[in-house]
């Protein structure tokens, strides 16, 4: 609830013992006032329903019942329910200090360590609620109170929470919740679980450390488009928090960072340590992969110690926490259509170095890549599989020991060589294969030849480079041929997804054949330039169209 400053206390006595004082805040359905419990002589807060809100009086009782199920130091305490103006009013503990939203509105932000400690408090509160099968469904700065002196964070306003056995609060024609902190699966009207609250926590941590939600836009349609489709790239100001935020903002709830792993990462950040990257169980990763996707087998490999492991970015498919692109939301179709129409030209020249934007990168639109990008731990220094032991479709690799690869046949009608154990993701138009350590991304796009042909597409992409790739530099666009066909080549360097990962280099070739434009690119950290070029040459040379 937003703080509106003190107002003249009306000193009304309700419930025979609670003397109302000044207003502390007001939300969509209720007003919170400071009050005094005259029977016990203690300060309390009283939440009354706003008459103009149209809220069902039963909602206050619902909230009281929900909170009564969850007893935790970081969850607001409801002391009593009394009648006020014919409606129930909640008597709660008074957390003196204002909300996180108040602090952000005043221009203050939290340091990464402070944000991590806040995250731990809220994660514990949510875990306590989830253990009781209670989903908060409205985790946002206005619903987090920060106690003066102690710094204790308290999660409040369970007014739209879901409780087992209770009906779900809803109002016809009204979106219940706060869009810019709402998980994409809830936007789609799908089943929401504890992972939905964790998405909201990830967005809240971004706001706490930077001052605003990563999905803040000028209109509701733009907000929904950002959550469902756009790249999610946490600010470098978040420092060591970037991996945990990327993991929480994974668009696919099956791949989203869980509470236990999030707690480990946050605890390390709160202690001022650099957290080890999250390591998902390979079996879980394979189980979460889309049934229609070609999942490439994991092969234990030792990560390159010279290259920091990166967590895929949520909206870019390979660069972050991407997940499978959600279907269009029925109730926002018109708004999204407007956004999509405006972005048609931009999509034509969209950056190559990103996985699918809706497939969570984690941007949470990323492809179906898991929240973590480090490979599973190596159990033994085993030699690469022999040709006879390799699964069908694998290409024997003379560089096996250094850059093992295998050939995959994709459902989109092509085959090519990708890093061994790569993870497939898609944003609907593009397909990405990301190496197990998350560092190397192979992308493919097949479409009708647009106006200007291959060279026109590359020149337009180059012009748009500074807008799509921060730190865009050292670009080169050349008209060329590929296997005797008209083609264009584009190379560039940019700042990369995170400061920890460092700059990245992308090599891209597209060519024309029989009315179709084929596009293959590979991106890798600048420190792995040799691997970047070798993998690109393998991908380009091995590419074959197999379907119409």
Distance, CA of 426 to CA of 358 (rounded, Å) = 8
Q: Rounded CA gap, 26 and 452, in Å? A: 55
Q: What is the dihedral of CA 376, 382, 388, 391, to 10 degrees?
A: 0
Q: For residue 404, which of 504, 546, 389, 287 has the smallest C-alpha distance? A: 389
Cα–Cα distance, 396 to 405 (Å, whole number):
8
Q: How far apart are CA 229 and CA 267, in angstroms?
A: 31
Active site annotation includes 10: no
What is the C-alpha separation between 364 and 358, in angstroms, rounded? 7
Residue 179 phi/psi, 5-degree rounding, is: -50, -45
User: Based on the number of CB atoms within 10 Å of its own CB, is 184 exposed (0-12), middle (13-18) or buried (19 or more)?
Assistant: buried
| Active-site pick, 37, 138, 197, 508 | 138
**Whole-number Å distance between alpha carbons of 106 and 137:** 26
* DSSP per-residue string spanning 404-472: -EEEEEETTTEEEEEETT-EEEE-SSEEEEE-TTS--EEEEEEEEPPTTHHHHHHHHHHHHHHHHSTT-
Catalytic residues: 138
């Amino acid at each position: 609830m937003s703080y509106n400053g003190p107002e003249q206390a009306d000193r009304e006595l309700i419930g025979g013992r609670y003397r109302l004082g000044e207003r502390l805040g007001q939300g969509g359905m209720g007003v919170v006032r400071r009050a005094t419990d005259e029977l016990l002589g203690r300060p309390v807060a009283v939440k009354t329903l706003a008459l103009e809100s149209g809220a069902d009086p039963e909602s206050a009782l619902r909230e009281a019942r929900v909170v009564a199920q969850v007893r935790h130091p970081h969850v607001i305490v409801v002391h009593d329910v009394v009648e006020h103006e014919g409606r129930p009013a909640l008597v709660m503990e008074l957390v003196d200090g204002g909300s996180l939203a108040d602090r952000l509105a005043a221009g203050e932000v939290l340091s990464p360590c402070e944000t991590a400690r806040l995250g731990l408090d809220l994660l514990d509160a949510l875990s306590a609620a989830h253990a009781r099968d209670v989903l908060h469904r409205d985790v946002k700065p206005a619903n987090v109170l920060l106690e003066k002196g102690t710094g204790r964070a308290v999660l409040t306003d369970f007014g739209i929470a879901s409780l087992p056995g209770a009906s779900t609060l809803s109002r016809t024609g009204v979106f219940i919740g706060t869009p810019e902190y709402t998980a994409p699966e809830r936007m789609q009207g799908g089943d929401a679980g504890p992972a939905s609250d964790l998405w909201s926590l990830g967005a809240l941590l971004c706001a706490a450390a930077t001052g605003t939600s990563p999905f803040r836009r000028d209109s509701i349609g733009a907000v929904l488009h950002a959550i469902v489709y756009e790249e999610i790239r946490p600010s470098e100001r978040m420092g060591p928090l970037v991996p945990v935020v990327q993991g929480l903002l994974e668009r696919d709830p099956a791949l989203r960072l869980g509470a236990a792993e999030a707690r480990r990462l946050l605890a390390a950040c709160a202690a001022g340590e650099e957290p080890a990257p999250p390591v998902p169980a390979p079996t879980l990763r394979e189980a979460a992969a889309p049934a229609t996707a070609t999942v490439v087998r994991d092969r234990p490999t030792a990560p390159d110690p010279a290259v920091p492991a990166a967590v895929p970015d949520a909206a870019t498919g390979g660069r972050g926490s991407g997940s499978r692109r959600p279907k269009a939301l029925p109730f926002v179709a018109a708004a999204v259509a407007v956004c999509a129409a405006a972005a048609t030209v931009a999509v034509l020249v969209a950056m190559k170095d990103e996985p699918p934007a809706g497939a969570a990168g984690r941007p949470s639109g990323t492809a179906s890549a898991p929240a973590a990008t480090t490979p599973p731990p190596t159990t033994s220094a085993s030699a690469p599989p022999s040709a006879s032991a390799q699964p069908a479709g694998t290409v024997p690799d003379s560089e096996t020991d250094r850059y093992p690869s295998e050939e995959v046949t994709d459902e989109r009608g092509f085959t090519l060589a990708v890093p061994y154990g790569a993870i497939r993701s898609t944003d609907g138009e593009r397909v990405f294969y990301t190496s197990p350590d998350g560092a190397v991304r192979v992308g493919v796009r097949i479409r009708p030849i647009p106006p200007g042909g291959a060279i026109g597409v590359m020149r337009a992409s180059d012009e748009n480079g500074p807008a799509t790739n921060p730190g865009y530099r050292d670009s080169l666009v050349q008209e060329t041929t590929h296997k005797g066909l008209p083609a264009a080549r584009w190379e560039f360097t940019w700042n990369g997804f995170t400061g920890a990962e460092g700059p990245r280099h992308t090599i891209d070739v597209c060519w024309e054949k029989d009315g179709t434009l084929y596009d293959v690119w590979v991106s890798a950290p600048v420190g792995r330039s040799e691997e970047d070029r070798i993998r690109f040459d393998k991908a380009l040379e091995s590419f074959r169209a197999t379907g119409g």
